[in-house]
């Protein structure tokens, strides 16, 4: 989780491409498998980079992993926003 937080900080300080590169390294980390924040953060970086289709998939994946109904709704709303032209 510390490395995911670091990726968010790098993304904010340097830019979404730099943050995405760090998140992609974490994608197969055993400790983060099933952790909904990983695809959520990845989706956010992808959306900021204009890669809307990929972002939508990540937000939907994150929504499927969370147990919190409000968070699921937020993630699905973000996914839907990526589908809009």
CATH of the domain at 15: 1.25.40
Q: Where are the beta strands (DSSP E) in the chain?
A: none
How many angstroms separate the CA atoms of 41 and 20, rounded?
A: 8
Q: Total domain count for the chain?
A: 1
* pLDDT (tens digit per residue) in 20-72: 999 999 988 888 888 999 999 999 999 999 999 999 999 999 999 999 999 99
Q: In the numeric block, which tokens belong to residue 49?
A: 């980079």
Q: The whole model's pTM is what? A: 0.92
Q: Which helix (H) or strand (E) holds 83?
A: helix 69-83
Q: For residue 67, what are the domain limits?
A: 2-83
């Amino acid at each position: 989780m510390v490395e995911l937080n670091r990726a968010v900080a790098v993304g904010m300080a340097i830019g979404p491409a730099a943050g995405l590169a760090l998140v992609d390294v974490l994608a197969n980390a055993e400790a983060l498998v099933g952790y909904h924040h990983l695809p959520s953060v990845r989706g956010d970086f992808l959306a900021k980079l204009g890669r809307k289709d990929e972002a939508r998939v990540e937000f939907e994946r994150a929504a499927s992993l969370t147990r919190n109904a409000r968070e699921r709704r937020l993630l699905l709303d973000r996914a839907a926003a990526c589908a809009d032209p």
